[in-house]
Structure 1
Amino acid sequence: MSEAGVIHDIGYQRYQGPRLGRGALLQAMYVHGLRAAFGLGRSAKSKIFPWGVAGIVLLVAVINAGVRSQTGNWLFDYYQLDDTMSWLVIFFAAIVAPELVSRDIRSGVLPLYFSRPVRAADYVMAKVAALVSAVFLMLGVPQFIMFLTGAFTTKTGMRGVWHELGLLIPGWGYSLLWAFIFASISLLIASLTGKRAFAAGGIVAVFLMTAPIVGVLNVLPSETAHHLSGLASPISLISGVEIWLRDRTDLGLDIGNLGPIYGIEAFCLIAACLLLLLARYRKVASL
């Protein structure tokens, strides 16, 4: 009996197609993350909460548009829509962020991701972009519905349309600020645990537990403490940025002349969360 080995040709061939590179990897992870944020491609149960929240925000925008068409005045403007829906945004981010990152930790697929030419920065960029896009769509689409109503009901022709567009674009910028702050904080917290319930609870706790600090600082006798109190909570921080940029005084927060500090902290908060998130996944990728 011969002990020589035999090589069988079973038809395997080298891949001859195009190699799409890093851009295609980023796009694939981003699209997958955005679909997961709204439960697309998953069971009906996964769609209930994100689409329920989106439906509520859309309904509020439609009611607001109906009032505008009948009376000529908004119940609330583009900025106030974001402020009014703030708690829904918190719960939306608390559910979606763990879906994007905690599931990967729990299922143990991160080593598989990083065994391919995927960098930690790529993974973080795709997940942040997906959640930012999801939050922005949830707020930006209702704002666009409001814009269409304002544009079609204006009595000054194209001048009124341009005026309404001039209100919409800064409103979208405000929504983008909301999206970046909520996405960066939520993903950082969710990246620390593979248990989605713990991650969701931690995200909600951060936003809920920081709000009372603002009230405590406001009862102190120091006027400086009053002006800086909004820095203690992400929600009041965003309101402080709006007060600074729009020179508003009706939001229940007194920032004095410290508006630039609110803008700087908002930028630093986003940057710090993203850098910590990147450091977290660089550590995972090096294991």
Structure 2
Amino acid sequence: MPEPTGVIHDIGYQRYTGPRLGRRHVFGALYLHGLRTIFGLGRSAKAKIFPWLVVGIVTLVAAGVTAVRSQIGQVVMTYAQFADSMSWLVIFFVAVAAPELVSRDLRSGVLPLYFSRPLPRGDYATAKLLALVTGLWLLLGGPQLVMFLGAAFTTDAGLGGVRDELLDLLPALLYAGLWAAVFASVGLLVASLTGKRAFAAGGIVAVFLMTTPIVGTLSIMPSATVNELALLASPSTLVQGVGLFLLGDLLAPAGQAEQLIGGFGPVYVLGAALLVAACVTLLLLRYRKVAAR
């Protein structure tokens, strides 16, 4: 009789008998993990340097504006203008954050593992997008809140002054949300096209910055209509056009908004909505294709 060639060892393996939380909890875990990734939480010290440097810069600018206002007694920069002035910095923040969210997963090949669980293909992209939108909104909205608190505690108009500041803050927070939605949808779509973070970052910066000269060219054309529609040519200026239409004097001196966009305010609103919708649709289609491989 031949001797046995193998031995079965009992290593104490037990089947999982706990609760199976399902799709909603998987989505929430992806969202929270994405939000932590944006700010480098739970990662190495090196990964925290850039995001928190940006957070420090925008907070310092907000504190400086608040301090100057308290000294001279005049508004130096409105809440909405703060979002506009920090938009260039947010571009580079997106260029770093978006590839961290999606390009790493593409490069490491973990997507089949994600999609082997009860996670629809669209949920992965949606959770990452919402995490990026939230992170960008916090990046702009947090300093706006600092400005509000500084103005509220130094106002001489009592509760009426605090109310007026709040009425200025709330639309500015919505405006910051628009910045976040446009930047996140465009940035994440570009980042999803490649697993190389350097290429993704360069592509994101190119989309936002290389379209700006087109706006400058269109704005000096002899046609007044072309001048008023010039801001549509770049995602950044498109958001500013929406802000000029909806917020008016909170962003520009009286009459300047009409001079820049004329009567095309609704066109800018429609353009921003279509841009976000198109980017989200393409993002979902992109992950349907990736998951099928």
Tell me if both proteins adopt one fold, taking TM over 0.5 as the criterion: yes
Deviation at 1:251, TM superposition (A): 6.5
Within 5 Å, give how 1:235-246 maps onto structure 2.
Answer: 235-246=236-247
The one-letter code sitting in structure 2 at the alignment partner of 1:267 is: A
State the TM-score, normalized to the length of structure 1. 0.95
The one-letter code sitting in structure 2 at the alignment partner of 1:222 is: S
| Deviations, residues 212-240 of structure 1 (Å, cap 9, x unaligned) | 11111122211111111110011111111
Deviation at 1:47, TM superposition (A): 1.0
Deviation at 1:253, TM superposition (A): 6.6
What does residue 270 of structure 1 align with? Answer: 276
Tell me how large the CA RMSD over aligned residues is: 1.8
The answer to whether the 8 Å contact 2:182/2:275 transfers is yes
What does residue 259 of structure 1 align with? Answer: 265
Structure 1 position 28 matched with structure 2 position 29: yes
What does residue 184 of structure 2 align with? Answer: 183
The partner residue of 2:285 within 276, 279, 283 is 279
Deviation at 1:133, TM superposition (A): 1.0
Find the aligned partners of 2:11 and 2:98 in 1 and give their Cα distance: 45
| Deviations, residues 242-263 of structure 1 (Å, cap 9, x unaligned) | 1111234447971110100000
Deviation at 1:3, TM superposition (A): 8.5
The one-letter code sitting in structure 1 at the alignment partner of 2:28 is: Q
Find the aligned partners of 2:290 and 2:71 in 1 and give their Cα distance: 56
The answer to whether the 8 Å contact 1:181/1:234 transfers is yes
Q: How many residues align?
A: 287
The one-letter code sitting in structure 2 at the alignment partner of 1:36 is: T
Find the aligned partners of 1:253 and 1:279 in 2 and give their Cα distance: 39
Which residues of structure 1 form unaligned runs of 5+? none
Which residues of structure 2 form unaligned runs of 5+? 250-254
Find the aligned partners of 2:173 and 2:16 in 1 and give their Cα distance: 44
| Deviations, residues 76-100 of structure 1 (Å, cap 9, x unaligned) | 1101111111110000000110010
Query: What is the DSSP-based 3-state SS (H/G/I as helix, E as strand, rest coil) of the residue aligned with 1:229?
Result: helix
Find the aligned partners of 1:32 and 1:252 in 2 and give their Cα distance: 43
The answer to whether the 8 Å contact 1:239/1:251 transfers is no
Within 5 Å, give how 1:198-209 maps onto structure 2.
Answer: 198-209=199-210
Find the aligned partners of 2:259 and 2:201 in 1 and give their Cα distance: 28
The one-letter code sitting in structure 2 at the alignment partner of 1:162 is: R
State the TM-score, normalized to the length of structure 2. 0.93
Find the aligned partners of 2:247 and 2:134 in 1 and give their Cα distance: 25
Find the aligned partners of 1:56 and 1:114 in 2 and give their Cα distance: 38
Q: Percent identity?
A: 61
Find the aligned partners of 1:234 and 1:251 in 2 and give their Cα distance: 18
